[in-house]
C-alpha cells in the first residue's frame, strides 16, 4: 500500500489538471506511513469524536449559556454511566440488546466489509 | 472481606444474613460489576476511601442506603431507586421541569411511599456526591491568560490589562467575560481503578491481548506505541500505565448553518482497553470546554494549561488505589497522540496547515506549486524510487523529475526552530503594535511552541498528530465527484484549471478553444461524464440498496432534475462512495484509465480502513 499510493497519485496527475490536487489529495501519500505507526485507522479518525460533539450539542437547552449546559449535563451523564455499570437490571449503554451492540460496534470499529 | 455493616442491602434483607456475595473467596469471580448492584458500588467507594481516595462519600451513601423506600420494601432501597430514577432522567434527556412534574404527581398520589424524592434538586445533591463535578476558570476576554494559580484573584488580565469582569457593580454579582470549564482528569483516571472489572480491563493491552505476527488490531501493535515502550521502559513496565489520545474540534452549538459561535471541547481517550471498550462513547472523557463566542485560534494553548499541568503530574506518577491488588500504586499516564481534523491540527500543533507548507509531513522542499489562483500539491513522482522509469517520462508535466522526496525535520531540529519563535498570546486590539505585530518572518512553517512540548516525552513521540482519514476521504471523494458530474462552483475543472495546463504547455487537447467571436469554450475532458452518462450514473447511485446498517440512504443526495447533481453528502456517504460505489458506477462510462485509477484509489482506502491491517501489505 505504501508503494501503491504513489503510482495512483502519479496516474491521477496524468489525468486531472493540477488544480485538482489540493493538500487533502496530497495527504493520502502519508496515510500508510501513519497507519504503520498508529495501528488501525479506526483509532485515529474523527468519526467517534464528531459523534461525541453531536451528543454535546444535544445537551444544550439554554441557548444563553451553552457551555454551562454542556458542563452540567456532562457531569450528570458521566456519573450515571459510572453508576449504571453496577446495575444490570436497567437498560443502559452496557446492557442494550445484541443488535444495538452490533450496530454500535460496526459504526466505530469495523471496516464495512 | 465480610461487610457486616452492609447487610441492610435490599437483596440480603430476606433473612439470610450470610449472602454468598459477602464472602472473600467469591470476590475474585465477582468481576462483573453489572451483577453487583448498589452493594458493589458502595463497596468500591468504601475500599477506595480506606486508602484515602474519594473522600467519605461512602459513609453518606451508606446512611442513605439504609433508608427504605416504603416500610417493608425488599426490592429496592431508597438509594438504588433514586439512582435508577436519575439514570432514566439523564439518559432520556428529560427536562427538569417535566421530571419535577412527574415526581410531584407520584409523591402526591402514592402517599404510602414516603421515600419518594420530591424534586430533581433533592436528587441532585446525590449526583454531586457520586460524580466529580468541574472547575470553572475565568479567562481574559482576548484569550491572553487564565485567571488561575497566581492570578486567581486578579481583577485585570496579567498580559493585556483588560478587565476580567463583564458586570462589576456594587452589590451585584460579578460576571466574568469568559469561563473555561475544566473537568479534572486525575480523579477520573483514578476511578478506572476503583472497580475491579474496569481495573482488570485497563491491563488488557499487555496481559490479555494476543498479538498476532504481522497483523495490527489495536494501537498497541503500532510502531509508535512500541517505540514509546522502548524509550520509556519504566512507564511501559506497569500494565496499568494509561496511554491517552487527546482530541479536539470546534462545533457550532446553535444548529448547522449558524456559525456565529464556536465551542472547543477537548476530549481524552484512554487506549488501554480492549477494542470494544476503547472506542465506546462512555470511554471518551471530556477534559476541557473552551468557551466561545470566537474560536480560540492561536491562543488555544492558553486554555490547555490546567490539563497540561495535570498531565505533567500524571507523568511523574499519582498515588492511586488499585481494586485488583487492593493496594496503592503510582498511576502514570501519557498522551500518545492527538486526533484532529486538518485545520484543528494547525491549532493544536502550532504548525501551519495552509499555504506552501501546508503538508505536515513535508517540512523541507514541499511539493507545492503556484497555479493561477491556488496552490497545488503535485509532482508525486518525487516519491518514486530514483531510478523509476516514470521519472524520465515527459507525459506527466513535460519535465524529467530528478528531485528527491520532501524531507521531514527531525525532532531535535523542530525543537531548535521552535525555541527561536516568539509568541505573545492574546488578541487585544489595544495592545501596542510593537508587541502585536512581531511576526516570525524567517519561520514560515511554525507559529509557536505549543504547550504539549511541556510534557517531557512529547518531542520523543513518533506520531504526534494523526491525519484524519475521515476528512481526507471526504475531500478526495468530493473533488472527484464534483469534477465527474461537473457540478458548478465545485468542479476542479475550471477555466483557470485549463489555463494552468496552457501555462505549463501540457495536454494540448484540453486547452481552451477560442471561437471566432473571441469567446472561449472548454473541450470535454475524459474525467467528466457526458450528460447522458451522468444520468446513468445518478440512476445507478439512486437505485443501490445497502445491507442494514452499512450505509445511509445515499439516494437522498441524488438530484435528477435538470442537469442532475449530488448534494448534501455526509462524510460517511463519501467513505462508502469512494471505496465501493464510485468505481462500480463509472465503469464503462469513462475511459478505462480513469476507471482503473479510481478503482485502485478506492481499493487503497478499503485496505487502509480494514479492521485488521497486515503490516507487510502496508509496507508493500
The tens digit of pLDDT for each residue in B232-244 reads 999 999 999 999 9
| Average pLDDT value for residue range B10-18 | 35
| Average pLDDT value for residue range B419-441 | 73
Contact at CB, A86 and B608, closer than 8 angstroms: no
pLDDT value, residue A32: 92
Q: Chain B contacts of A22, Cβ < 8 Å?
A: 374-377, 475, 479
3-state secondary structure of B609: coil
Q: Which residue of A has its CA nearest to B276?
A: A105
Task: Say yes or no to pLDDT of B352 above 80.
Answer: yes
CA–CA min distance A103, chain B (Å): 7
The tens digit of pLDDT for each residue in B445-475 reads 888 899 999 999 999 999 999 999 999 999 9
3-state secondary structure of B244: strand
Spatial neighbors of B97 by CB under 8 A, at least 6 apart, are none
Spatial neighbors of B312 by CB under 8 A, at least 6 apart, are B454, B455, B456
CA–CA min distance B440, chain A (Å): 23
Spatial neighbors of A42 by CB under 8 A, at least 6 apart, are A108, A109, A111, B279, B609, B611
Mutate to test the interface with B, among A5, A45, A56, A113 (most CBs of B within 10 A): A45
Task: Say yes or no to pLDDT of B479 above 90.
Answer: yes
Q: Which residue of B has its CA nearest to A75?
A: B133
pLDDT value, residue B241: 95
pLDDT value, residue B441: 64
pLDDT value, residue B66: 85
CA–CA min distance B246, chain A (Å): 10
Q: pLDDT band for B531, please (50, 70, 90 cuts).
A: very high
- Closest residue by Cα to residue B289 from B463, B136, B455, B477: B136
Cell of B356: 506552501
pLDDT value, residue A112: 42
The tens digit of pLDDT for each residue in B317-332 reads 999 999 999 889 999 9
CA distances to B168, B251, B532, B534, B555 from B559, rounded to whole Å, are: 56, 28, 15, 11, 9
The rounded radius of gyration (Å) of the Cα atoms in chain B is: 30
By Cβ distance, the residue of B95, B254, B469 closest to A45 is B469
CA distances to A47, B126, B186, B355 from B346, rounded to whole Å, are: 19, 42, 27, 12
Instruction: Say how far apart CA B141 and CA B161 lie, in whole Å.
Output: 11
Q: What are phi and psi of B407, to 5 degrees?
A: -110, 160
Q: Which residue of A has its CA nearest to B188?
A: A78
pLDDT value, residue B257: 73
Q: Chain B contacts of A98, Cβ < 8 Å?
A: none
Over B106-163, what HEC string results?
HHHHCCCCCCCCCCHHHHHHHHHHHCCCCEEEEECCCCCCECCHHHCCCCECCCCCCE
Contact at CB, A16 and B483, closer than 8 angstroms: yes
The tens digit of pLDDT for each residue in B263-316 reads 999 999 999 999 888 888 889 999 999 998 889 988 999 999 999 999 999 999
ipTM attached to this prediction: 0.88
Q: pLDDT band for B15, please (50, 70, 90 cuts).
A: very low
Contact at CB, A24 and B476, closer than 8 angstroms: yes
Over B317-354, what HEC string results?
CEEEEECCCCEEEEECEEEEEEECCHHHHHHHHCECCC
The tens digit of pLDDT for each residue in B253-277 reads 987 777 789 999 999 999 999 988 8
**Cβ(A24)–Cβ(B342) below 8 Å:** yes
| Average pLDDT value for residue range B157-164 | 91
Weakest-pLDDT range from B65-74, B134-143, B574-583: B65-74
Weakest-pLDDT range from A20-29, B258-267, B394-403, B499-508: B394-403
* Regions in chain A scoring below 50 on pLDDT: 108-113
pLDDT value, residue B13: 32
Instruction: Say how far apart CA B218 and CA B273 lie, in whole Å.
Output: 9
Contact at CB, A15 and B494, closer than 8 angstroms: no
Contact at CB, A92 and B87, closer than 8 angstroms: yes
Mutate to test the interface with B, among A4, A12, A19, A52 (most CBs of B within 10 A): A19
pLDDT, chain B, mean:
87
Contact at CB, B263 and A70, closer than 8 angstroms: yes
Contact at CB, A27 and B86, closer than 8 angstroms: no
Task: Say yes or no to pLDDT of B113 above 80.
Answer: yes
pLDDT value, residue A99: 52
pLDDT value, residue B591: 93
CA–CA min distance A97, chain B (Å): 15
CA–CA min distance B455, chain A (Å): 20
Q: Which residue of B has its CA nearest to A93?
A: B282
Q: Chain B contacts of A36, Cβ < 8 Å?
A: 222-223, 615, 618-619
3-state secondary structure of B522: coil
| Average pLDDT value for residue range B19-48 | 66
CA–CA min distance A109, chain B (Å): 7
pLDDT value, residue B281: 86
**Cβ(B309)–Cβ(B243) below 8 Å:** no
pLDDT value, residue A101: 53
Q: Which residue has the higher pLDDT, B24 or B192?
A: B192
Cell of A67: 457551555
**Cβ(B524)–Cβ(B530) below 8 Å:** yes
Task: Say yes or no to pLDDT of B31 above 70.
Answer: no
Residue positions counted in chain A:
113
Contact at CB, B219 and A40, closer than 8 angstroms: yes
pLDDT value, residue B60: 82
Q: Chain B contacts of A12, Cβ < 8 Å?
A: 597, 601
| Average pLDDT value for residue range B343-356 | 92
pLDDT value, residue B511: 92
Can you give the pTM of this predicted structure? 0.89
Task: Say yes or no to pLDDT of B6 above 50.
Answer: no
3-state secondary structure of B367: coil
Q: Chain A contacts of B379, Cβ < 8 Å?
A: 13
Task: Say yes or no to pLDDT of B482 above 50.
Answer: yes
Q: pLDDT band for B583, please (50, 70, 90 cuts).
A: very high
Q: Which residue of B has its CA nearest to A103?
A: B549
pLDDT value, residue B97: 92
Q: What are phi and psi of A105, to 5 degrees?
A: -60, -45
Portion of chain B with pLDDT greater than 90, in percent:
57
Weakest-pLDDT range from B79-88, B145-154, B421-430: B421-430
| Average pLDDT value for residue range B396-403 | 86
By Cβ distance, the residue of A1, A23, A31 closest to B359 is A23
CA–CA min distance A62, chain B (Å): 10
**Cβ(B244)–Cβ(B336) below 8 Å:** yes
Cell of B484: 465527474
Contact at CB, B496 and A19, closer than 8 angstroms: yes
The maximal CA–CA distance of chain A, rounded, in angstroms, is 62
pLDDT value, residue B11: 37
By Cβ distance, the residue of B95, B132, B245 closest to A61 is B95
Contact at CB, B87 and A25, closer than 8 angstroms: no
**Cβ(B523)–Cβ(B507) below 8 Å:** no
Task: Say yes or no to pLDDT of B25 above 50.
Answer: no
Weakest-pLDDT range from B32-36, B116-120, B521-525: B32-36
pLDDT value, residue B439: 57
| Average pLDDT value for residue range B569-580 | 94
Taking the CA atoms of residue B128, residue B129, residue B130 and residue B133 in that order, the dihedral angle to the nearest 10 degrees is 40
The tens digit of pLDDT for each residue in B545-568 reads 998 888 999 999 999 998 889 999
Task: Say yes or no to pLDDT of B7 above 60.
Answer: no
Amino acid at each position: 500500500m505504501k508503494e501503491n499510493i504513489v503510482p495512483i497519485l502519479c496516474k491521477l496527475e496524468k489525468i486531472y489538471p493540477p488544480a485538482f490536487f489540493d493538500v487533502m489529495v496530497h495527504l493520502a501519500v502519508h496515510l500508510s506511513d501513519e497507519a504503520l505507526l498508529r495501528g488501525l485507522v479506526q483509532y485515529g479518525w474523527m468519526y467517534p469524536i464528531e459523534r461525541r460533539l453531536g451528543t454535546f450539542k444535544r445537551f444544550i437547552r439554554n441557548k444563553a449559556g451553552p457551555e454551562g449546559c454542556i458542563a452540567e449535563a456532562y457531569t450528570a451523564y458521566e456519573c450515571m454511566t459510572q453508576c449504571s455499570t453496577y446495575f444490570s437490571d436497567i437498560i443502559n449503554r452496557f446492557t442494550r440488546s445484541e443488535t444495538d451492540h452490533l450496530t454500535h460496534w460496526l459504526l466505530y470499529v469495523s471496516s464495512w466489509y | 472481606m465480610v461487610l457486616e455493616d452492609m447487610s441492610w442491602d435490599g437483596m440480603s434483607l430476606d433473612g439470610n444474613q450470610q449472602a454468598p456475595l459477602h464472602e472473600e473467596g467469591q470476590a475474585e469471580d465477582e468481576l462483573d460489576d453489572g451483577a453487583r448492584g448498589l452493594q458493589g458500588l458502595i463497596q468500591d467507594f468504601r475500599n477506595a476511601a480506606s486508602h484515602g481516595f474519594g473522600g467519605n462519600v461512602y459513609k453518606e451513601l451508606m446512611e442513605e442506603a439504609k433508608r427504605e423506600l416504603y416500610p417493608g420494601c425488599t426490592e429496592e432501597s431508597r438509594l438504588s431507586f433514586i439512582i435508577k430514577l436519575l439514570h432514566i432522567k439523564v439518559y432520556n434527556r428529560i427536562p427538569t421541569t417535566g421530571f419535577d412534574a412527574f415526581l410531584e404527581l407520584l409523591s402526591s398520589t402514592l402517599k404510602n411511599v414516603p421515600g419518594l424524592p420530591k424534586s430533581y434538586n433533592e436528587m441532585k445533591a446525590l449526583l454531586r456526591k457520586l460524580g466529580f463535578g468541574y472547575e470553572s476558570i475565568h479567562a481574559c476576554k482576548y484569550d491572553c491568560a487564565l485567571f488561575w494559580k497566581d492570578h486567581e484573584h486578579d481583577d485585570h488580565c496579567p498580559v493585556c490589562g483588560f478587565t476580567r469582569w463583564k458586570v462589576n457593580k456594587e452589590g451585584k454579582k460579578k460576571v466574568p467575560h469568559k469561563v473555561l470549564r475544566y473537568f479534572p482528569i486525575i480523579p477520573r483516571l483514578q476511578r478506572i481503578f476503583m472497580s475491579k472489572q474496569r481495573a482488570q480491563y485497563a491491563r488488557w493491552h499487555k496481559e490479555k491481548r494476543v498479538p498476532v505476527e504481522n497483523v495490527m488490531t489495536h494501537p498497541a501493535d503500532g510502531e509508535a506505541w512500541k517505540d514509546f515502550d522502548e524509550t520509556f521502559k519504566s512507564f511501559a513496565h506497569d500494565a496499568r500505565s494509561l496511554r491517552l489520545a487527546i482530541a479536539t474540534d470546534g462545533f457550532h452549538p446553535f444548529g448547522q448553518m449558524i456559525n456565529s459561535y464556536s465551542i472547543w471541547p477537548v476530549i481524552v481517550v484512554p487506549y488501554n482497553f480492549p477494542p470494544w471498550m476503547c472506542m465506546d462513547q462512555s470511554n471518551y472523557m471530556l477534559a476541557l470546554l473552551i468557551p466561545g463566542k470566537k474560536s480560540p485560534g492561536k491562543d488555544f494553548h492558553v486554555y490547555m494549561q490546567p490539563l497540561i499541568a495535570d498531565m505533567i503530574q500524571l507523568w511523574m506518577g499519582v498515588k492511586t488505589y488499585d481494586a485488583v491488588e487492593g493496594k496503592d500504586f503510582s498511576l502514570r499516564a501519557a498522551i500518545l497522540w492527538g486526533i484532529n481534523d486538518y485545520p484543528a491540527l494547525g491549532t493544536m500543533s502550532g504548525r501551519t496547515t495552509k499555504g506552501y507548507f501546508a503538508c505536515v509531513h513535508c517540512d523541507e522542499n514541499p511539493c507545492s506549486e503556484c497555479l493561477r489562483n491556488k496552490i497545488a500539491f503535485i509532482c508525486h513522482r518525487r516519491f518514486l524510487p530514483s531510478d523509476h522509469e516514470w521519472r524520465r517520462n515527459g507525459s506527466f508535466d513535460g519535465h524529467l523529475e530528478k528531485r528527491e522526496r520532501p524531507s521531514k525535520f527531525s525532532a531535535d531540529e523542530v525543537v531548535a526552530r521552535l525555541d527561536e519563535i516568539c509568541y505573545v498570546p492574546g488578541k487585544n486590539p489595544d495592545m501596542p503594535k510593537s508587541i502585536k505585530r512581531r511576526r516570525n518572518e524567517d519561520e514560515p512553517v511554525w507559529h509557536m511552541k505549543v504547550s504539549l512540548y511541556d510534557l517531557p516525552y512529547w518531542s520523543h513521540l513518533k506520531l504526534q498528530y494523526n491525519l484524519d482519514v475521515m476528512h481526507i476521504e471526504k475531500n478526495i471523494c468530493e473533488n472527484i465527484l464534483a469534477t465527474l458530474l461537473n457540478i458548478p462552483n465545485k468542479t476542479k475543472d475550471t477555466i483557470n484549471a485549463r489555463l494552468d495546463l496552457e501555462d505549463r504547455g501540457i495536454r494540448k487537447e484540453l486547452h481552451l478553444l477560442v471561437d471566432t467571436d473571441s469567446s472561449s469554450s472548454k473541450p470535454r475532458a475524459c474525467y467528466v461524464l457526458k450528460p447522458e452518462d451522468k444520468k446513468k450514473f445518478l440512476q445507478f447511485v439512486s437505485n443501490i440498496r445497502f445491507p442494514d446498517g452499512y450505509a445511509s440512504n445515499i439516494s437522498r443526495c441524488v438530484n435528477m432534475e435538470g442537469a442532475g447533481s449530488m448534494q448534501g453528502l455526509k462524510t460517511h456517504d463519501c467513505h462508502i462512495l469512494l471505496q465501493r460505489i464510485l468505481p462500480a458506477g463509472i465503469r464503462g462510462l469513462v475511459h478505462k484509465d480513469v476507471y482503473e485509477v479510481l478503482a485502485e484509489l478506492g481499493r487503497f482506502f478499503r485496505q487502509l480502513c480494514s479492521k485488521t491491517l497486515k503490516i507487510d501489505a502496508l509496507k508493500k
